[in-house]
Amino acid sequence: MKDMNDLKPVKGIEKWAHDQFSRVIIFYKRHGVYATCHCSECGGYYQIRTRTTGDPFEDDLANIEKPIRDEETKCRLCKRDAIFKPAGCFKGEWRDCNIVTGQKIDDNRFVFRVFYATQKIYKDCRTAYSCNEYKRIFTESRKKPVRYYNQCGHWMKTSIGDNYRYLVHPSTFKEIKKTGMYKYVPYCKEVAEQYYGESWVMDYYIAAARYPDMEMIVKTGMIYLASALVAKNPVNFNPRGREIHNRLRIQKERVPYLVKEQGNNMLMRLFQFEKKADRHWTDEELEIVKELFKHIYTDIFTELIRYINPVRMKNYMSKCGIWYDEERMSYGQANKIRREYFDYLKMRADAGYDLTNDIIMYPNDIVRRHAEMVIESEKKELDKRMKNVINRFPWISRDYRKLSEKYSAAAAGYIIRPAKDAAEIVMEGRLLHHCVGASDTYMKRHNKGESFILFLRKASEPDIPFITVEIEGESIIQWYGAYDKKPEESFFDAWLKTYTGELVKRKEEKKDKKAAKTA
Ligand SMILES: [Zn+2]
């Protein structure tokens, strides 16, 4: 690294910084037909006549000007454009900006120097300007940039913060042109000025030093890829690659496609997956994979892509009504099953199942298989939790028979019954993704007999959790299906109303029987 003190001074930087602030104020104070003016920039004072004398000849000589707050004027002494402000109520003004300038060190090294410039306008004295260098970024061909910050006159690597808006000093471009490693890197406006105008110029050339590929990437028009490099998004270059497809870790025949799509990042990552999985997707397959990639979490996608036969998967998902353009199901419903499907595949992969087996990859009943996999993959952890709750809330199972007599019922293709034990409540919560089994609250109440957890299920699938109900006596406290949603809300509201009515009737019959016995 070149010695910090060896850097040439930046010629004219203070003057240039000063010129970036165009604000000049003429403060005025009226007295009679005159006003005294004070220029914030040159500091001079002068008087103007503010009202007509009635004599056209005199008026012309007096050069009448009426000062009005915020109106434009010109200083009569230094001739700068300015605006009027009444001197009385002015509290002071403050502006600042960051300026970046670049210098060539040698053909493979370059330094960006960042200045902080301020303008402070006070009343009754001249405007104060400052311009201090606070950051230096050293770039070197194929290396990470090194940043130094000015901490009370010492250059340290500890950051004092970075800014995102910079003005670029024009000499920077001349210096870049002189530097060997930048010689062939075209200035790509679309990339270098993508955010905040020219502010990205520095980041653009920092990236261009670190990644010599920038030249080729920009020249072929892969601007999204260039932007990713500038924005420090992960690109995953192969450091030992020579040709572009090796560098990018994609198949050679994919380069023209990627160029056509201007280096689209998603596409590049897909092509990287394709190569890694040693696949050669057809156009049809690629369209399907793109759609999948848009919707599946990257870590799941990464794991599954090796096994996916895109056309087969699309057909399968269409058949299940969960392909992305399907309208057979509501979006929420399709999305839920889709999520469970990929969740299921991930669990299968994690558990070491053979995903080349179609029976595993394309199951008959996603919801059921997902439920089974949830049970299997969380079994250990679940076992522990279930043992724990069974010990802590023993009355749930002890009271089951009694509660079942009171609460079990069946009607219209549905059954309802109390939980057999605490473990069942935990499982219900897991499978339906709601909170009934996650916290101890409901089990505690059930155990104490304050309120009870009931399971409402399809009579045809009595083992599959569907709706969870909390009941106190004969009144429903709350009910929820999967993900805290209420499926067919009005139907089940009515169903539960009939049910609680039935419970009240049962209770009264029991009372009557008792009364008859004792009588
Ligand atoms: Zn002036």
Lookup: tokens for 517: 């016995």
Using alpha carbons, select from 23, 51, 52 the residue that is nearest to residue 35. Answer: 51
Domains along the chain with CATH numbers: 13-94 (no CATH), 388-515 (3.40.630)
Tell me, in angstroms, the distance from the centre of ligand 1 to residue 12's CA.
Answer: 22
pLDDT in tens, 137-147: 999 999 999 99
Mean pLDDT of 168-172: 93
Mean pLDDT of 224-252: 88
pTM (global) more than 0.85: no
Tell me, in angstroms, the distance from the centre of ligand 1 to residue 28's CA.
Answer: 13
Tell me, in angstroms, the distance from the centre of ligand 1 to residue 120's CA.
Answer: 16
Share of the chain above pLDDT 70, in %: 97
Tell me, in angstroms, the distance from the centre of ligand 1 to residue 43's CA.
Answer: 6
Lookup: tokens for 430: 């897991």
Strands 34-39 and 93-106: unpaired
Tell me, in angstroms, the distance from the centre of ligand 1 to residue 424's CA.
Answer: 85
Tell the residue number behind the tokens 């300007």, with chain if given: 129
Is the per-residue pLDDT at 333 higher than 60? yes
Structure confidence at residue 88 (pLDDT): 85
Tell me, in angstroms, the distance from the centre of ligand 1 to residue 32's CA.
Answer: 23
Tell me, in angstroms, the distance from the centre of ligand 1 to residue 77's CA.
Answer: 5
Lookup: tokens for 424: 């069942």
Torsional class of 263: left (φ above 0), alpha (ψ -120 to 50), beta (otherwise): left
Structure confidence at residue 509 (pLDDT): 87
Compute the half-sphere exposure of residue 464: CA atoms within 13 Å on the CB side of its CA. 15
Strands 452-458 and 467-472: antiparallel
Tell me, in angstroms, the distance from the centre of ligand 1 to residue 38's CA.
Answer: 8
Structure confidence at residue 40 (pLDDT): 94
Tell me, in angstroms, the distance from the centre of ligand 1 to residue 167's CA.
Answer: 26
Residues 6+ apart with CB under 8 A from 152: none
Sheet holding 452-458, edge to edge: 409-411, 414-418, 452-458, 467-472, 475-480
Using alpha carbons, select from 413, 403, 428 the residue that is nearest to residue 495. Answer: 413
Structure confidence at residue 123 (pLDDT): 84
Mean pLDDT of 342-355: 87
Is the per-residue pLDDT at 393 higher than 60? yes
Tell me, in angstroms, the distance from the centre of ligand 1 to residue 22's CA.
Answer: 12
Show contacts of 62-68: CB within 8 Å, 24+ apart. 67/26, 67/28, 67/30, 67/35, 67/37
Tell me how many degrees the CA angle 24-25-28 measures, rounded to the nearest 5: 155
Tell me, in angstroms, the distance from the centre of ligand 1 to residue 36's CA.
Answer: 13
Tell me, in angstroms, the distance from the centre of ligand 1 to residue 307's CA.
Answer: 76
Is the per-residue pLDDT at 166 higher than 70? yes
Using alpha carbons, select from 465, 476, 467 the residue that is nearest to residue 504. Answer: 476
| Cβ count within 10 A of residue 12 | 12
Residues 6+ apart with CB under 8 A from 281: 274, 289, 310
Structure confidence at residue 4 (pLDDT): 66
Is the per-residue pLDDT at 380 higher than 70? no
Tell me, in angstroms, the distance from the centre of ligand 1 to residue 37's CA.
Answer: 10
Q: Which residue has the higher pLDDT, 137 or 298?
A: 137
d(CA 245, CA 193): 27
Confidence of residue 235 (pLDDT cuts 50, 70, 90): confident
Mean pLDDT of 489-505: 93
Tell me, in angstroms, the distance from the centre of ligand 1 to residue 100's CA.
Answer: 29
Is the per-residue pLDDT at 2 higher than 80? no
Q: Which residue has the higher pLDDT, 469 or 165?
A: 469
Structure confidence at residue 187 (pLDDT): 87
Tell me, in angstroms, the distance from the centre of ligand 1 to residue 301's CA.
Answer: 67
Tell me, in angstroms, the distance from the centre of ligand 1 to residue 27's CA.
Answer: 11
Element (DSSP H or E) covering residue 52: none
Lookup: tokens for 263: 């280096």
Tell me, in angstroms, the distance from the centre of ligand 1 to residue 41's CA.
Answer: 5
**Mean pLDDT across the chain, nearest whole number?**
89
d(CA 326, CA 329): 7
pLDDT in tens, 73-121: 999 999 999 999 999 888 889 999 999 999 999 999 999 999 999 999 9
Q: Where are the alpha helices (DSSP H) in 393-488?
A: 395-398, 400-407, 422-432, 441-448
Tell me, in angstroms, the distance from the centre of ligand 1 to residue 79's CA.
Answer: 6
d(CA 121, CA 268): 52
Q: What type of residue sits at position 164?
A: Y
Tell me, in angstroms, the distance from the centre of ligand 1 to residue 39's CA.
Answer: 5
Tell me, in angstroms, the distance from the centre of ligand 1 to residue 116's CA.
Answer: 25
Compute the half-sphere exposure of residue 287: CA atoms within 13 Å on the CB side of its CA. 6
Tell me, in angstroms, the distance from the centre of ligand 1 to residue 44's CA.
Answer: 6
